[in-house]
Amino acid sequence: DAGVTQSPTHLIKTRGQQVTLRCSPKSGHDTVSWYQQALGQGPQFIFQYYEEEERQRGNFPDRFSGHQFPNYSSELNVNALLLGDSALYLCASSRLLAGDQETQYFGPGTRLLVL
């Protein structure tokens, strides 16, 4: 049973560019959440997708957008990159059961460096 997978593992971009990160959830999971983990900090919630719609969003600007596909995989897009966007981007998947989210499992992350 494959866990949560993310691609690419590492990425280097320059300021102003755009980036797309990808996530495949654990088998049987229908919900994908994205988190940003800056160096030395805990992960910060960006947003969550369920049934191909953004269900909840954290305190991130509109430059951060996402998408969920019918197979439950997801993309995170960041436009107009800033130096401060350099971080580890983590994807987590879970499933909705009886109206509540079961525990979520994290992927290995994509490390983004903005120069």
Partner 1 sequence: GEDVEQSLFLSVREGDSSVINCTYTDSSSTYLYWYKQEPGAGLQLLTYIFSNMDMKQDQRLTVLLNKKDKHLSLRIADTQTGDSAIYFCAVGGGGFKTIFGAGTRLFVKA
Footprint of partner 1 (CB under 8 A): 31, 33, 35, 40-45, 48, 55-56, 58, 88, 90, 92, 100-101, 103-109
**How far is the C-alpha of 46 from the C-alpha of 25, rounded, in Å?**
17
CB closer to partner 1, 24 vs 104: 104
CB closer to partner 1, 35 vs 72: 35
We find the least distance from the C-beta atom of residue 16 to partner 1, in angstroms, to be: 27
DSSP 14-68: -TT--EEEEEEPPTT--EEEEEEE-TTS--EEEEEEETTEEEEE-S--TTEEEEE
Q: How far apart are the first and last CA of the chain?
A: 37
CB closer to partner 1, 22 vs 106: 106
We find the least distance from the C-beta atom of residue 26 to partner 1, in angstroms, to be: 11
